[in-house]
With several copies, the nearest count.
Chain A
Amino acid sequence: MITVLFFAKYRELLGTEQLQLEAESFSSVRDIAQHLSQQGSEWHSIFEQANTMVAVNQKMAKLDSPIQDGDELAFFPPVTGG
């Protein structure tokens, strides 16, 4: 299983904090993003944004980053701490 987390504006927009996906069908972050962007217009809007950030196992990653069973992904808007 792959765990996918959403934070801040994305969490609110999707009404989703966390979801689980079967690992088999996905080999990169891009595969997950493509799958999720087909779940509705809000989902589509998030993955369309050039500045959407992604972390794999709590480290910043890219669309090309590989993923495997057990990984934790997180999608979030640009950070605004400090």
Chain B
Amino acid sequence: MFVRVQKEDFSLKLVEERFSEYTKLQGAKIGAIVTFTGLVREFQHTSEDQEEVQALILEHYPGMTESVLEQIAQTAIKKWQLNDMLIIHRVGTLFPTDNIVLVAAASAHRQDAFDACQYAMDILKTSAPFWKKEQTNKGERWVDAKSSDYNAAGQWITQDLQEN
């Protein structure tokens, strides 16, 4: 498990390095790697009067963010018997095309890695204490939470309840 909150950029190379390290220790057990990268778009909104994003300021709750991300990774590793999981989230000032978040899961079979990555993103979006403030051509504003994100996260909870 590898979890980090950082100002610095990251690259997918980290995923290859991290999981090939796993393979050196554990043997060729990884059959599937799924990665998710979230990036800053110029236009975050789909409404008619689109505001062009000039920068995104990412604030977080130091200490709590790391422990929530670790909790997410631990839960995912157990739930899908992953080989390994990696989560990196950036904070500070970001610009369009910049990376924001990286989630990667390694498993024997592909469905587990896909599900684990989606789970991690859905839970991260609604539970990890990060907040985005947009600087647009019309001023600054805090990004509102999306109900679609809460619906996505809620599905996993509903699923867990049905399984128990």
Consider the complex of A and B and state whether they touch directly, i.e. have CB atoms less than 8 Å apart. yes
Q: Determine the distance from Cα of A77 to Cα of B132 in the docked complex, in whole angstroms.
A: 11
| Contact yes or no, A80 B143, CB < 8 A | yes
Closest beta carbon of chain A to B32's beta carbon, Å: 10
| Contact yes or no, A79 B127, CB < 8 A | yes
In the complex, residue of chain A having the shortest beta-carbon distance to the beta carbon of B91? A81
Chain B CB within 10 Å — which of A5, A9, A59 has the most?
A9
Residues of A within 8 A of B (CB-CB), count: 17
| Contact yes or no, A9 B131, CB < 8 A | yes
By a CB distance below 8 angstroms, the chain B residues around A9 are: 131, 142
By a CB distance below 8 angstroms, the chain A residues around B130 are: 79-82
Q: Determine the distance from Cα of A51 to Cα of B133 in the docked complex, in whole angstroms.
A: 18
Q: Tell me if A55 counts as interface (CB < 8 A to partner B).
A: yes
By a CB distance below 8 angstroms, the chain B residues around A78 are: 126, 144-145
| Contact yes or no, B101 A76, CB < 8 A | no
Chain A binder among B15-23, B58-66, B73-81: B58-66
* Chain A proximity mask over B123-164: 1 for CB below 8 Å, otherwise 0: 011111111110000000011110001000000000000000
| Contact yes or no, A82 B121, CB < 8 A | yes
| Contact yes or no, B64 A79, CB < 8 A | no
Q: Determine the distance from Cα of A82 to Cα of B89 in the docked complex, in whole angstroms.
A: 7
Q: Determine the distance from Cα of A79 to Cα of B129 in the docked complex, in whole angstroms.
A: 5
Residue numbers of B with Cβ under 8 A of A are: 38, 58-61, 63-65, 67, 89, 100-101, 121, 124-133, 142-145, 149
**Which 10 pairs from chain A and chain B are nearest by CB?**
A81-B130, A78-B145, A8-B131, A58-B64, A82-B125, A9-B142, A80-B143, A80-B132, A82-B124, A81-B128
